[in-house]
Chain A
């Protein structure tokens, strides 16, 4: 699932483990995908499938308990995992940026939100203090925050969830990155705000020719906006395909199930049954295919070791021995 010469971001065989007192959690195993120049790639999967930690690993801000145990992350050809801390930092905020899940917690609770934007601006641009302030106000206006001068001095706890999300987005695009990672930018907001926030992100990406990694557990939401979709399950990438193709002909049983649970005009299957079983416990020994025990198509051959990666049609990858 790699290749694509000239891709902006290439993640290859990325594996992540967490050390906990209950044992080692193999939270991500050999995940590979790419993001092209100015392309929007969606990442979907149930809660706990490893979307967020993948994003964190790409940004180099994994939780201290987590460790990248293998694979590579290449940005414009440079292997980020091999870089020193100082060089790595040069990419953060300027080349790639992230709008975190749960924006309120991701903002410093005791620093005015405007100052937090200015911190990033001062770091990545040649602007002086007052110019940075002007630019921060512009950014606030751009992400449709009402009354920027007033909210510039506000603290996160004074803002609504939607406003925090907008501040988070402004923070992420402040350094004009080439790649924007948006981790569930709409989760936890009401439907109207959700749409507004997503539209805003799309516009920003389009305006600045930013590539985007759009993370969500909502396949329908991502499908509409992404060029390609990466489907994750329990720390594995199970399917990658262009959006239209994925919706028209999902090949992995999990994707098909996920589609079935998503009310979407394009979805082939119309029943809304939940996916049987639950995401397996990643601390235990797992079969090669982690969907094995939830899968209705499972067969003995599924227990044979390496998890296959098949390019079923050009640009459509599936990690399954018995694809649909």
Chain B
């Protein structure tokens, strides 16, 4: 098991290197003079020259790359012109908001999508199956910003059930003390029910948006995998052995069907990380996506770069986690390595 994890870590390394190289190249591809860019619009030529030296832009490309890696290792992603803070500090402050939202969305999608897929697969051709398939096709075609806005219109404007889409907490609730950065977890740790409820309320619509977006692919894959597994030889064996339907469905079919689903979770998560940006914009969610968008508006590249890098690293880490989870479920992976 440990050896497998080690191998997975090694396998993830090229991806990490690729991510660092690409972000470096993108940085150098910025239009105009990067020094002038980083110095800001009001800088004098002298100041620009100083910045050029300070940034190492007078050196050769490989040397610059070396410097870039050195800064990364030190945890230095530059300074945001907008906030005046180090980008790393900004990201650290805002990451929990993004993660809390994305994970809630993913969990919701799994909690609804997997049962929906199973339901459709165990009743192929039934009306339930047809409805599920239509939902899946519709879900795949729905632009996230569109579904988000529809949700806001219906549940905030028309029905008034949801709070205004303005961030993680309403104006009257103070944020809980920061332990993990997740308002839900922190408020629970503080045993503060009011804050928990307030945070949960704010989370409902954005989570639903993300969940809806990820629902279709998860349900689709679950359904296809389940259909394949239910027609497999070993499920037939379980049936011929007279095992209870529940055992057949959950122990024999579902566990095998989950393998492709777990693999697909990585892609779905990557998709959600992208969707997250849009959702944060619509719900004024103070995460790293909206941080990056604010920086875009002011042509401030360092935060964008930090954002891309962070997202890519989260994705790499998640893929690692999925590989390990896969190994836990599938003995063929666990033992053969």
Do A and B touch, yes or no (CB under 8 Å, in the complex)? Answer: yes
Which residues on A are within 8 Å of B, measured CB to CB? 56, 59-61, 63-64, 89-94, 97-98, 100, 102, 105-111, 116, 119-120, 123-124, 155, 157-158, 168, 171, 174-175
Question: A110 with B247: in contact, given A56-B236, A100-B233 (CB under 8 Å)?
Answer: no
B233 touches A105 (CB 8 A): yes
B332 at the interface (CB under 8 A from A): yes
Judging by beta carbons under 8 Å apart, are A100 and B241 in contact?
no
Q: Which of B244, B255, B336 contacts A123 (CB 8 A)?
A: B244
Residues on B with beta carbons closer than 8 Å to the beta carbon of A175: 241-242
Other A-B pairs beyond A119-B243, A157-B332, 7, CB < 8 Å:
A89-B244, A92-B240, A92-B241, A93-B241, A107-B237, A108-B237, A110-B256
Measured between beta carbons, the chain A residues less than 8 angstroms from B251 are 111, 119
| Residues on A with beta carbons closer than 8 Å to the beta carbon of B252 | 108, 111
Total A-B contacts with CB atoms under 8 angstroms apart: 88
- Contact, CB under 8 Å: B239 / A110: no
Could you tell me if A98 and B231 are in contact, using CB atoms closer than 8 angstroms? no
Q: Which single member of B234, B240, B247 contacts A107 (CB below 8 Å)? A: B234
Chain A contacts for B255, CB-based, 8 A:
110-111
Asked if B238 contacts A108 (CB within 8 A), the reply is yes
Docked CA distance A175–B242 (Å): 10
B233 touches A119 (CB 8 A): no
- Give residues 252-280 of B contacting A (CB, 8 Å): 252, 255-256, 259
> Which of A64, A94, A105, A158 contacts B234, CB < 8 Å?
A105
Cβ 8 A contact of A100, one of B231, B237, B244, B247 = B237
Contact A61 B329 (CB under 8 A): no
Q: What residues of A have a CB within 8 angstroms of the CB of B233 in the complex?
A: 100, 102, 105-106
Q: Once the chains are docked, how many angstroms separate the CA of A204 from the CA of B68?
A: 73
Contact of A155 with B335 at beta-carbon distance under 8 Å, contacts A61-B239, A98-B240, A111-B251 already known:
yes
Residues of chain A lying within 8 A (CB to CB) of residue B243: 93, 119-120, 123
CA distance A260 to B188 in the complex (A): 81
Closest to B259 in A: A110
Shortest Cβ distance from B329 into A: residue: A110
Does chain A have a CB within 8 A of B214? no
Number of B residues near A (Cβ < 8 Å) is 27
Which chain A positions have C-beta within 8 A of B237? 100, 106-108, 116, 168, 171
- Identify the B interface with A (CB < 8 A): 124, 230-234, 236-244, 247, 251-252, 255-256, 259, 329-332, 335-336
Complex contact B240–A109 (CB within 8 A): no
Shortest CB–CB separation between residue B250 and chain A, in angstroms? Answer: 12
- A108 with B234, Cβ < 8 A, contacts A119-B251, A155-B331, A157-B332 known: yes
**Looking at the complex, which one of A64, A107, A123, A171 makes contact with B124 (CB distance below 8 Å)?**
A64
Q: Which residues of B contact A107 (CB under 8 A)?
A: 234, 237
With A109-B256, A110-B255 known as contacts, the answer to whether A59 contacts B234 (CB < 8 A) is no
Determine the residue in chain A with the shortest Cβ distance to B227.
A64
| A56-B236, A64-B124, A105-B233 known; A110 vs B241 contact (CB < 8 Å) | no
Query: B329 and A119: CB pair below 8 A?
Result: no
Report B-chain residues with C-beta under 8 Å of the C-beta of A89: 242, 244
Closest 10 CB pairs of A and B: A92-B242, A93-B242, A105-B233, A93-B241, A106-B233, A108-B234, A120-B241, A155-B331, A106-B237, A61-B236
Complex Cα spacing A110 to B230, Å: 15
Q: Are B231 and A64 in contact (CB under 8 A)?
A: yes
Write the nearest CB–CB distance from A141 to chain B, whole angstroms. Answer: 20
B240 touches A59 (CB 8 A): yes
- Return 6 A-B CB contacts under 8 Å, by A number: A92-B239, A93-B240, A94-B242, A108-B252, A108-B256, A158-B335
Q: Whole-angstrom distance between the alpha carbons of A63 and B228 in the complex?
A: 11
Q: A109-B256, A110-B331, A119-B247 are in contact. Are A97 and B234 (CB under 8 A)?
A: no
Q: Smallest CB–CB gap between A89 and chain B, Å?
A: 5
| Bound complex: CA A225 to CA B331 (Å) | 39
Give B9 Cβ to nearest chain A Cβ, in Å: 24
CB neighbours (8 Å) of B232 from chain A are 105
Is A109 within 8 A of B247, CB to CB? Answer: no
CB distance from A84 to the nearest CB of B (A): 13
Bound Cα distance A149, B233 (Å): 26
CA distance in complex: A107, B241 (Å)? 12
CB distance from B333 to the nearest CB of A (A): 10
Chain A residues closer than 8 Å to B234, beta-carbon distance: 105-109
Interchain nearest-CB distance for A194 vs B (Å): 21
Chain B positions within 8 Å of A105 at CB level: 232-234
The docked-state distance in angstroms from the alpha carbon of A267 to that of B159 is 86
Q: In the complex, how many angstroms separate the beta carbon of B168 from the nearest chain A beta carbon?
A: 41
Residues of A near B231 (CB, < 8 A) are 63-64
Docked pose: A145 CA to B246 CA in angstroms: 30
Residue of A nearest to B256 (CB): A110
Which residues of A lie under 8 Å from residue B335 when comparing CB positions? 155, 158
